[in-house]
Structure formats: C-alpha cells, structure tokens
Amino acid sequence: MAFRRMTEDVGLVDLGYQGPAYTWTNRREGAGLVLKRLDRATATVGWTGLFPKAAVYHLPRFNSDHNPILLRTKAKPVRRKKTFRVENWWMQYPEFKERCSTIIAESSDSWEEMVTYIRQGITK
C-alpha cells in the first residue's frame, strides 16, 4: 500500500503487463510456494501520451527468482505536424501566383490536396 500511495503521489501509473501474472517466486514447492508481482513498469501520464502503443511483457524466468520484464514502446513520440502558412512576400513573385493559379485551375482535388501541391511545388 505504501508503494501504491507513493506512485500516486508522484503521478506515476502502472503500465500493466502481458505474460505470466507473477514476476517473483521463492522457488518452494507445495504450500510453501509464494508467487508475487514485484517488478513493474511505471510512467507519467505525459509519457503514456507520447507512447500510446507501449507494452510491458513479463518474460520467462531463467536461473533467477525474478522474471525479466521488457518494455516496448512500438512507436516514436507523437510529433505535431508543422502548420503550412503562405508568406506575404511570396506574392511579390509572379511565378508563385502563376503556379498557384495553374494548380487551382487544373485540379479537381480538394483544397487540402491543392495546398499540398503548392507547398511541395508540384503541378499536375
């Protein structure tokens, strides 16, 4: 309970797991056997937003009383797309106006696709 309170106080969340339910054993048999989930992966809510596909795996135990755990993020941090903006000084160049006019006149694409073509300097 003290560990759980501490993680809540500092804003950490348990990432859960896949695989065996327990990460530690006392290696005894019968009624003396103890199995516990001692090893955990925790993160801040902000981190989980950056890595929404992250997963924790409890791996098989070899020559130890602990199962190793593996954290796979599976995704790069989420990055915002850079906003495209037309600069006023571009209008000083006749070639820019002509290229935009041509793209718009010849295109049957959506407004977003036309802006992409203009942005990349590609005409159809």
Q: Where do the structural domains in the chain lie, given as residue ranges?
A: 2-72, 88-120
Least confident of 3-7, 79-83, 105-109: 79-83
Task: Say what percent of the chain tops pLDDT 90.
Answer: 19
Sign of CA dihedral 81, 87, 93, 94: positive
Give the mean pLDDT of 93-121: 74
pLDDT value, residue 124: 44
Sign of CA dihedral 23, 21, 70, 43: negative
Residue pLDDT, tens place only, 54-87: 989 988 888 888 889 999 987 455 466 677 677 7
Judged against a pLDDT cut of 50, whether residue 123 lies above it is answered with no
Give the mean pLDDT of 17-42: 90
Give the mean pLDDT of 94-103: 78
Count CB-CB contacts under 10 A for residue 38: 13
Give the mean pLDDT of 18-30: 89
pLDDT value, residue 47: 92
pLDDT value, residue 79: 62
